[in-house]
């Protein structure tokens, strides 16, 4: 029967350090003084750790490895592997739990040779490649120590490794003294001969230099991740409207990205002192990526899952994407999900009342000013009342205007009713339920199909989950294809994030009419946190989270989001300046149906005007005649 050695998770305290690390875990060839030095080095190395952790090792390992027993069986705790955070619909995320993959666990083990060391690397990396690992190796040369550290990082992505060994130094012909050597590795420097920033950092510990070397050991750990000295990190960042837009140099190379996501990467690169190596933009419209039916992760999600990138800088909804090698960083913002639909034809509610109101204003007055009647068509459009005089011609004009009101009322209402009855894309939609009542087809991006994994109680959640599972006719499509489909499909609703469904839609418009092509249903579907992603083996998670937290808490991310929205509003203004938005763009009713009535009205107005002047002449002549008759009668008297 195979036997195995189990190492358990225990509280690592200074006062119990000696009881936790059994002397059987230390090399046998050390004297008591060197044992004490070993214990001090181990303690200082794990000083900032809360737990000392080890894993179950198979029997092929050196059976001399001891079991850590300081608190007994009651102190055994399972290691919860953090993969991704699966949010329920509308649920709030405790940001302290995001990226909670344990980093406060330390591994210590004692192995005999290089073969056992690499097997230990593989086992520890499968649990937590970001943890601190210290290994005491008994049978290994100084050259193999450096080589092992390099392999530990390049093959197993273990960065926080320290190899502790005891090398025998000959004092004389008969006596040997054992020198304790600690080696660490810093892959983030290209200058191997740089004594200040070496790639391999080895310290020889003696009782005299013990204190000084411990300080150097701690400084080296801080330096390794605190300043990458221009080390290139692979950044998966693609262009997206008002989120990340590339800036190119004169040679066509990307220098940096602007807008919220790009600005955050620039800040991280500055303070962590790394050089962003932007990966080629993903083609085929994959962008955010998804898991194909074959189980392979495509797009940017595949960059993280298959360790092709060090950071996925386009934020994603915090959800379970079935990944096994990716984690989220600290959330940068809260986003909402909205439905995008083709812009619908809407009519103002007062459109049917205009003529009736004007008719009332015309017929309800006894005294009117005739001059205003000649411009009455413009008064109707501007909702201005008029008064009429007692002159016959003015009354004729008032009657003509009244007749015009009746005609235009019939034209207005008849035309609108006909359009509303024939056009299925008429009338505003304000609630998500109205989408289902009007038999809209629901579509979403592939990456969103992973979000809805729990059956909801409301109709909307149920319908979306059915769509994500492919149980109904709803479809999963790429965002680029969705925009093209929405342009002519009046019964399609595409679920997408707030940043792409808000004022940013001003960028999609009809060149002929100036109208926006799309609009969103005002009611939001769900709220989610968004965050960047990276492989869980990345040694930079803690550093990324540290600076992202400062950046977000300072309000800089929201500042760039608002700045992007303001830049988008400038697009609308620029469209007006360039004449791409007609002056009548805000008018919701076409006036073509009134042309005949308007020409007829102008004819009668001109005729009424001529009649008015003729009436005035007759009136003036009549008065002159009356005056002459009166004078003649007076003279005769």
φ/ψ of residue 118, rounded to 5? -65, -35
- The answer to whether 300 touches 238, Cβ cutoff 8 Å, is yes
Report percent pLDDT > 90 for the chain: 4
User: Residue for token digits 């939001």?
Assistant: 524
Question: How far apart (Å, rounded) are the C-alpha atoms in residues 169 and 461?
Answer: 71
Q: Is the pLDDT of residue 554 over 80?
A: yes
Residue 266: band (very low, low, confident or very high) from pLDDT cuts 50, 70, 90: very high
pLDDT for 277 beyond 80: yes
Backbone φ, ψ for residue 613 (5° rounding): -65, -40
What pLDDT does 3 receive? 31
Q: Using the predicted structure, report yes or no on whether residue 249 has a pLDDT greater than 80.
A: yes
- Read off the pLDDT of residues 17-68 as tens digits, 9 standing for 90 and up: 333 334 444 454 455 566 777 777 877 777 655 444 433 333 333 333 332 3
Query: Band of the pLDDT at 629, cuts 50, 70, 90?
Result: low
Q: Is the pLDDT of residue 235 over 90?
A: yes
Look at 36-45, 85-94, 175-184, 505-514 and tell me which has the smallest mean pLDDT.
Answer: 85-94
- The rounded distance, in Å, linking the Cα atoms of 633 and 637 is 6
Q: Rounded to an integer, what distance in angstroms lies between the CA atom of residue 118 and that of residue 163?
A: 12
Q: What is the pLDDT of residue 81?
A: 24
Is 70 exceeded by the pLDDT of residue 138? Answer: yes
Would you say 122 and 115 are in contact if contact means Cβ atoms under 8 Å apart? no
- Range with the poorest average pLDDT among 123-137, 275-289, 583-597: 583-597
Is 80 exceeded by the pLDDT of residue 446?
no
Residue 310 carries which DSSP code? Answer: S
Confirm if 201 and 186 have CB atoms less than 8 A apart: yes
Mean pLDDT throughout 178-194? 73
- Helix (H) or strand (E) run with residue 356 in it: helix 354-363
Residue 95: pLDDT band with limits 50, 70, 90: very low
Q: Is the pLDDT of residue 324 over 50?
A: yes
Listed in sequence order, the residues at least 6 apart from 552 whose beta carbon sits closer than 8 Å to its beta carbon are 330, 331, 332, 333
Which tens digits make up the pLDDT trace of 336-393?
888 888 887 665 544 445 444 444 544 444 444 444 444 444 444 333 334 444 445 5
Mean per-residue pLDDT, 314-319: 85
d(CA 4, CA 63): 8
pLDDT, average across residues 62-91 = 29
* CB neighbour list of residue 472: distance below 8 Å, 6 or more residues apart: 463, 466
Displacement of CA 327 from its chain's centroid (Å): 15
Position 236 confidence tier, pLDDT thresholds 50, 70, 90: very high
Region of 510 (left: φ > 0; alpha: ψ -120 to 50; beta: rest) is beta
Most trustworthy range by pLDDT among 29-33, 513-517, 549-553: 549-553
Residues with Cβ within 8 Å of residue 616, at least 6 apart in sequence: none
Residue whose C-alpha is closest to residue 316's, from 547, 86, 16: 86
Mean pLDDT along residues 579-598: 51
Neighbour-count burial of 158, counting CB atoms closer than 10 A to its CB (0-12 exposed, 13-18 middle, 19+ buried): buried
CB 379 within 8 Å of CB 386: yes
Q: What is the pLDDT of residues 301-310, one digit of tens each?
A: 889 888 889 9
> Mean of the pLDDT values across residues 466-477?
58
Question: What is the DSSP secondary structure assignment for residue 229, as one 8-state letter?
Answer: T
- Which range of 144-153, 396-405, 443-452 scores highest in mean pLDDT? It is 144-153
User: Whole-number mean pLDDT of the chain?
Assistant: 68
Q: What is the 3-state secondary structure (H, E, C) of 363-397?
A: HCCCCECHHHHCCHHHHHHCCCCCCECCCHHHHHH
| C-alpha 389, offset from chain centre | 67
Position with higher pLDDT, 32 vs 223 = 223
Query: What pairing do the DSSP bridges indicate for beta strands 105-111 and 132-137?
Result: parallel
* 3-state SS class at 464: helix
**Residue environment code for 591-607, b if the CB has 16+ CB neighbours within 10 A, otherwise e:** eeebeebeeebeebbee
CB 67 within 8 A of CB 7: yes
DSSP 240: B
């Amino acid at each position: 029967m195979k036997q195995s050695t189990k190492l358990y998770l225990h509280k690592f305290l200074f006062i119990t350090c000696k009881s936790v690390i059994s002397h059987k875990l230390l090399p046998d060839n050390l004297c008591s003084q060197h044992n004490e030095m070993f214990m001090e080095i181990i303690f200082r190395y794990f000083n900032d750790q809360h737990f000392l952790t080890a894993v179950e090792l198979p029997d092929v390992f050196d059976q001399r490895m001891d079991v850590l027993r300081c608190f007994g069986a009651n102190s055994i705790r399972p290691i919860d592997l953090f993969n991704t955070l699966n949010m329920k619909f509308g649920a709030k995320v405790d940001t302290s739990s995001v990226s909670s993959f344990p980093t406060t666990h330390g591994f210590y083990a004692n192995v005999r040779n290089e073969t056992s060391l690499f097997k230990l690397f593989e086992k520890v990396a499968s649990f937590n490649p970001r943890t601190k690992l210290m290994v005491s190796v008994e049978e290994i040369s100084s050259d193999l120590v450096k080589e092992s550290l390099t392999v530990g990082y390049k093959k197993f992505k273990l960065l926080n490794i320290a190899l502790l060994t005891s090398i025998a130094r000959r004092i004389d012909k008969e006596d040997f003294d054992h020198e304790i050597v600690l080696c660490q590795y810093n892959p983030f420097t290209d200058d191997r001969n740089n004594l200040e920033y070496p790639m391999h950092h080895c310290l020889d510990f003696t009782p005299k230099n013990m204190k000084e070397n411990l300080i150097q050991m701690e400084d080296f750990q801080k330096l390794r991740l605190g300043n990458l000295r221009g080390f290139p990190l692979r950044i998966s960042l693609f262009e997206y409207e008002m989120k990340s837009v590339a800036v190119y140099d004169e040679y066509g190379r990307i220098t940096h990205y602007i807008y919220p996501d790009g600005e955050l990467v620039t800040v991280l690169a500055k303070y962590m002192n790394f050089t962003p190596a932007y990966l080629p933009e993903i083609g085929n419209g994959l962008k955010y990526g998804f898991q194909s039916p074959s189980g392979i992760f495509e797009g940017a999600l595949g960059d993280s899952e298959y360790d092709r990138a060090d950071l996925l800088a386009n934020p994603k909804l915090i959800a379970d994407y079935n990944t096994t090698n990716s984690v989220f960083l600290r959330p940068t913002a809260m986003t909402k999900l909205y439905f995008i639909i083709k812009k619908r034809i809407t009519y103002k509610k007062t459109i049917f009342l205009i003529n009736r109101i004007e008719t009332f204003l015309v017929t309800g007055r006894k005294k009117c000013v005739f001059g205003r009647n000649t411009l009455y068509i413009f008064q109707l459009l501007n909702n201005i009342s008029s008064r009429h005089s007692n002159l016959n011609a003015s009354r004729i004009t008032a009657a003509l205007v009244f007749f015009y009101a009746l005609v235009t009322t019939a034209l207005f209402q008849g035309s609108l009713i006909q359009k509303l009855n024939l056009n299925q894309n008429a009338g505003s939609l304000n609630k998500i339920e109205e989408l289902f009542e009007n038999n809209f087809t629901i579509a979403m991006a592939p990456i969103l199909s992973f979000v809805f994994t729990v059956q909801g109680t409301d109709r909307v959640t149920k319908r979306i989950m059915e769509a994500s599972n492919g149980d109904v006719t709803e479809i999963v499509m790429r965002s680029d294809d969705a925009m093209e489909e929405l342009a002519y499909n009046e019964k399609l609703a595409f679920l997408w994030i707030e940043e792409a469904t808000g004022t940013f839609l001003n960028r999609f418009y009809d060149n002929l009419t100036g109208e926006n092509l799309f609009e969103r249903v005002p009611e939001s579907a769900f709220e989610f946190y968004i965050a960047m992603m990276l492989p869980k083996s990345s040694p930079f998670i803690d550093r990324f989270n540290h600076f992202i937290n400062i950046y977000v808490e300072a309000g800089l991310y929201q500042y760039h989001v608002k700045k992007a929205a303001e830049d988008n509003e400038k697009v609308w203004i620029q469209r007006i300046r360039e004449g791409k938005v007609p002056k009548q763009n805000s008018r919701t009713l076409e006036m073509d149906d009134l042309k005949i009535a308007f020409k007829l009205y102008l004819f009668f107005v001109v005729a009424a005007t001529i009649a008015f002047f003729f009436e005035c002449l007759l009136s003036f002549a009549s008065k002159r005649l009356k005056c002459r008759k009166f004078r003649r009668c007076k003279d005769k008297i």
